[in-house]
Chains A and B, each alone.
Chain A
Amino acid sequence: MSMLRTIFSCMIGLCVSTGVNAQSIVDHFGFGKTPAPQDMAKYFAIPPSGAGLPPGSGTGKAGADIFAENCAACHGDKLQGNPAVGLGGDRLIGGRGSLASKTPIKTVESYWPYSTTLFDYVKRAMPFNAPGSLTDDQVYSLVAYILSEAKIVKPTDVMNADTLPKVVMPNRDGFIPDSRPELELYR
């Protein structure tokens, strides 16, 4: 083994001029620090299982006012979107049944496969003008509101770490793995 290492090291040019012993191979650089738990606390990424969803809860009813105040300017009071200069918030609901047409409309309601993505994204990046400023209760309420306006849950349904991952989105089964490379394009 050490013989092998020497030969290999010589091949990659680490041979010392005495030729007796090659430089020993480094096992670890020793760079990097073990992160403290409090430094990790601010990070999150919520997969479809709901792992990592924080405590807290909200309903669509509670979310209506929060939406009107924080989101409607850019996404419209009917969640229809707003293409105005400087805003440009996407349409959030509608479009069900349009995906196989020539002009599909992709929204949270018609297209998104997982409800957990909505929690993750709103907590992460919205409102656009003050990302990351909402409490977890507010995020649960907004998610509940968007899902209830989309008629996926009822306005009184409570969304929390337990219930949210169980919400079945209309387009849950609408995705397939990448089917490329498209074999008909080979020669």
Chain B
Amino acid sequence: MKQNGKAVYDAKSRQMAEQMILAEKRQLARQSEEDCDCKDGMFPSQPTPSRRGLLFAAGSVVGVIGAASIARAEPRKAPPGATFYDVAEDPTKEQGRPVAGDGGYGTRSQFETEVRVRYPTPNENTSWSFTPLSAMLGNTTPSGLHFERHHAGIPTIDPARHNLLIHGMVKNPLTFSVADIKRMPSVTRKHFIECSGNGLTEWNKPTLKTVQATHGLLSTSEWTGVQFSTFARETGLSDGAAWVLAEGADAAVMTRSIPLEKMLKDALIVYGQNGEAIRPEQGYPLRLLLPGYEGNTHIKWLRRLQVSDKPFMTREETSKYTDLLGNGKARMFSLDMDAKSVITFPSGDMKLPGPGFYNIGGLAWSGRGRIQSVDVSTDAGKTWYPARLESTPEPMCTVRFSFPWMWDGKVAVLQSRCMDETGYVQPTLKQLIAIRGDNGPFGSVYHLNAIQSWAINEAGEVSNVHA
């Protein structure tokens, strides 16, 4: 399967990539029709028309039945996570909704339509969905838009029946209830999680259009939970302990071996995400959080930690999540996420309305510490300018950057490049391929952290390119 010396997709991967391209197209079409008329997806310039007149017309037909049953007869469309409400012609001239009329748990505005999009793997129980990065504001990903990767669906777990067992090379094996864990001293920290498969479609050619699909396996939350070291003090550790197997309570009974050093340094057993209980898709009621490590190791629905002297060589650390290099050897336990950044505005499939001022913006993150600096280029990396960091960088956490730009209406290629506090500089794709070989996406699947390029043509259309 070679063409002009370049690897191309085999039948299965091609089919999958084509399906994703279609899914992305459908999603874009849905957005432009439901969201607003701004095809460029950047300025909701067209107000959504009031549907009040429509409702009255319908009401007069059904007469006395009333608005509630009309709503039932002809349900108003609200995006996932929202409830449809009639829009007043002038909200200052009539009462709004009563306090707590939503039952006590609020929803997002019906005008906000962004959703996660699933990658079309053949089996929807082992699949992943992307965070809509270009619509994210600030640093925190709303819990309902946090990316997903499940290997056997999302289990529904009753916290009253869920425990965490810590055993193996410990002095006192112990089982903790969720209630026990919530009574222990906790910490709250902001960290990103990135799937090491983020961008796997982009190794040998620009494949998907939007930043959601090329970079959306990245999300940031504020996590609350108990440090592993706190548990280790309770159970004690035996001499020679060096690894910890973490196991989930899903149908994949997902397992990964984690170096004990990492577990004692900063691993958290979390139950909180963005101020409330972690979502079922994120591991409710307990998840292992390993700051800066590849997403797969952050075992969800965590039920067991087995301390040992050696790794277990589970399927997810041999068959998968290993990095086959050009020479036929594969790296294993490639756990740290390298520094990476991406411009989310403007990004793929947007359209700039015309020459003028644009505040280029994006995200930068590193699994090895804080982001030190971010540079932006508008000429495909020939000239670099320092970007402005919009908040104080935190370790193993995304930071938002921006760069003020006057677009002259000519062809441009936008790039961002970050450096983390260890001095590591985000590489070009060429540099990465020179080290790892050009067998992606078959051999090199994971850990693509190359500089992303967005080309802008004279019409203002933004597209994904390799530059």
Contact = CB atoms under 8 A, between A and B. Distances in A.
Interface of A: 28-29, 31-35, 39-40, 43, 45-49, 81, 83-88, 99-106, 108, 111-114, 116-117, 120-121, 124-125, 128, 131-132, 174-182, 184-187
Given A33-B174, A180-B338, A131 B331 contact: no
Contact of B123 (A40, A87, A180): A87
Nearest to B419: A187
A87 B423 CA distance: 45
Given A86-B123, A100-B326, A103-B1, A45 B173 contact: no
Given A29-B234, A112-B319, A48 B313 contact: yes
Interface in B374-406: none
A105 B7 CA distance: 13
A43 B247 contact: yes
Contacts of A28: 233-234
Return the 5 tightest CB-CB contacts between A and B, nearest first: A100-B328, A88-B122, A32-B174, A88-B123, A31-B180
B271 to A, nearest CB: 14
A184 B330 CA distance: 19
B111 interface: no
Given A32-B235, A47-B312, 10 more contacts: A32-B174, A35-B173, A102-B2, A102-B439, A102-B443, A103-B7, A104-B324, A112-B318, A179-B331, A185-B425
Contact of A181 (B122, B165, B313, B422): B422
Contacts of A31: 174, 176, 180-181, 183-184, 234
A33 B425 contact: no
Interface in B431-458: 431, 435, 438-439, 442-443, 447
A120 B314 contact: yes
Given A32-B175, A45-B312, A102-B439, A111 B329 contact: no
A83 B9 CA distance: 15
Contacts of B165: 35, 39-40, 43
Contacts of B427: 182, 185
Contacts of A88: 121-123, 126
Nearest to B334: A178
Contacts of A113: 313, 318
A128 B125 CA distance: 10
A178 B333 contact: yes
Given A47-B311, A112-B319, A182 B435 contact: yes
What class of interface size applies to chain B in its complex with A? 35 or more
Contacts of B326: 100
B252 A185 contact: no
A153 to B, nearest CB: 19
B329 to A, nearest CB: 5
B304 interface: yes
Contacts of A186: 422-425
B129 interface: no
Nearest to B303: A43
B333 A117 contact: no
Interface in B144-202: 151-152, 165-167, 172-176, 180-181, 183-184
A102 B251 CA distance: 34
Interface of B: 1-2, 7, 10, 12, 15-16, 121-126, 151-152, 165-167, 172-176, 180-181, 183-184, 233-235, 245, 247, 251-253, 255, 304, 306, 308, 310-315, 318-319, 322, 324, 326-336, 338, 368, 419, 422-427, 431, 435, 438-439, 442-443, 447
Contacts of B332: 175-178
21 contacts: A31-B181, A32-B234, A34-B173, A35-B167, A43-B165, A43-B304, A47-B312, A101-B439, A102-B2, A103-B439, A104-B324, A106-B442, A121-B315, A124-B252, A125-B252, A131-B252, A174-B330, A178-B332, A180-B331, A185-B425, A187-B423
A40 B439 CA distance: 43
Given A43-B304, A131-B252, A187-B423, A117 B315 contact: yes
Contacts of A81: 12
B255 A114 contact: no
Nearest to B124: A86
Contact of B176 (A32, A100, A177): A32
A124 B1 contact: no
Nearest to A99: B328
Contacts of A45: 245, 247, 255, 306, 312, 314
A100 B15 CA distance: 24
Contacts of B10: 103
Nearest to B254: A125
Contacts of B233: 28
A29 B431 contact: no
A174 B329 contact: yes
A150 B134 CA distance: 46
Contacts of B126: 88, 128
Contact of A106 (B125, B176, B324, B447): B324
Contacts of B335: 178
B204 to A, nearest CB: 9
A95 B315 CA distance: 18
B234 A131 contact: no
Residue among A32, A33, A111, A182 with the highest chain B CB neighbour number at 10 A? A32
A182 B425 CA distance: 10
